[in-house]
Structure 1
């Protein structure tokens, strides 16, 4: 909506991960170096963790598009609450193999045959597992078993595990001991600092042809960093709303006050702006008249579902509020134009 007003060729702050917008902060460059090191080693597991919105998916997609297809066949899956057998089906599907109705033993044979065929062609398989914190211990064990596929001393498949910070805690459990022994590198992707936050914003703007319209004053970047905590996804959300407000106000300069107003609006609409990254805000409701006992794993799954519902509700509320403001601004602008065009008596 505001792109043409500011002379931009596209949306600079879209939320969907796009490797074309990859910004190499110190942390992201280091994480990329670990991934490339893992590729060079050609075995074991590489673990990358980071808060929600830290840029893990963009990082992985940036790596995947740089991988030479003639030497490495890469597949990516997003882990959800699936059991071990379903995980193997996801892996088979990601490599383009038939999996419907196939039993576990047959799946393992099929996967091994596929990996051996790749090896015979001079290629190897890379599996990227996103949202790895959702993996059950049994599912993790299946991934470890896949790493046993070898020809001589060479592994046929390598895995990158990408997840939220709690995955690091999961890895400390006794049942994860065998997998830990096969991790050759691990890195936690933290937030951007103040200077990187400004560089990140300017990098995304320049990618769509920004010519300093609108111009950001220095204090605006201070405010962006203060409200986003340096988390890329939160930066995108805040900057997108700030540019929308500037467009509606026909402004060509972004100030700290405008950023503050945008942050306040987002906070009112979602209730998420002042919550630490990766934590969903859920408003307390009335106590239930019934008490239900759940197993620990069921409670965890219910909590995750509640978080997702809260985020969906917040997103819907934010979109509705934004559309109301846009409609009101457009009506006001149209009214001014009609008034200007009316002939004077």
Structure 2
């Protein structure tokens, strides 16, 4: 294992220290329990939007804290759910009196710990994110996993909250994004968790794992490594069939690096996906390309499609200022 770390047990704590140093005007970082909050929170009368999950997926979630997106994020240990006390501490820091929206990826630990925290909080709504079409069940989840759509939910719900929407409206919009988004990913290599020191699974040099999760979970199947056009089609076809997406739809296409895929390959894949969608009569009107939901050092990509309407498009376009995503400010 070659990584730029000190003690593997201190990776998350050390990274949070660096995050605080890099963004002192934007973020307020506490480490006992670990919470990353927007420095401008709480805002009186504004719905507080909170998410979180295991570390190792950066910039998700801590990189999306700031105006127009999350009010706070709760980072767990690597690939490990945050604890209920982290969620409670985050709510105590950012609740402006209009309620708290909890955005939770559908992994068993995340769901249980956010539910436990919600029992001790007033005026909360929880939205589960379950956009992964690769599996219906796994050892990590009860039902579909929450993956790439998480970024889109956080952005759109965060924009609604920033615009003054009430808690029910923010939750309804988050649920609309979940309902209209589908994702799938593939891996060329497995991630290496620092405290484990070896890859999560063994993948021969001439094979790819199709349908992987963001914690190094194995996928639907293994296939021989082939060209980019075939790989992108293998991801896009199940996504299109699942909702289904149809000719005339206007969509947001999110092409995501799993952490180890260079932008050269990512843009190549994105271009192929746009061509395939155009051939189906589906119009891409918004795009996001980059390493936004990663799995440590995994080489691979995921694709996410969100069916848009004017309201969701306006909220996507609304100003945002976070460490990892910013426009309009």
Superposition TM-score, scaled by structure 1 size: 0.25
Relative to total residues, which structure has the larger strand share, 1 or 2?
2
Of structures 1 and 2, the one scoring higher in RCO (CA 8 A, sep 6+) is 1
Superposition TM-score, scaled by structure 2 size: 0.25
Relative to total residues, which structure has the larger helix share, 1 or 2?
1
